[in-house]
Amino acid sequence: MTKLGSISNNHLSITCKVCKSHRMLTVKPLIEKLGWETNLKDVVPNLRCSSCKVKRQVEFQIVFVGGSGEAMLEA
């Protein structure tokens, strides 16, 4: 299980399965609202599309933000 605190410097790429709109969410505000120990699997199902307002119909990817050298150190 991925905790928000373990991906604090990353973004979530969110795509609505219904209308196909796409957003990038910064993880840090989620941590501030929900806490470091919150599991990602508990957050994503409750996300609502900002375009069509449908809930629980999103696909996501964790997107690393940083230089390629930093990415190699994290891998």
d(CA 75, CA 71): 6
Structure tokens at 71: 């990415």
Token readout for 72 is: 């190699």
HEC string for 1-18: CCEHHHHCCCEEEEEECC
pTM of the predicted model as reported, rounded to 2 decimal places? 0.76
pLDDT digits (tens, 9 = 90+) for 2-46: 999 999 999 999 999 999 999 999 999 999 999 999 999 999 889
In Å, what is the CA distance from 41 to each residue of 1, 52, 72? 7, 22, 25
Q: Where are the domains of the chain?
A: 4-74
If DSSP codes are grouped into helix, strand and coil, which group holds residue 31? helix
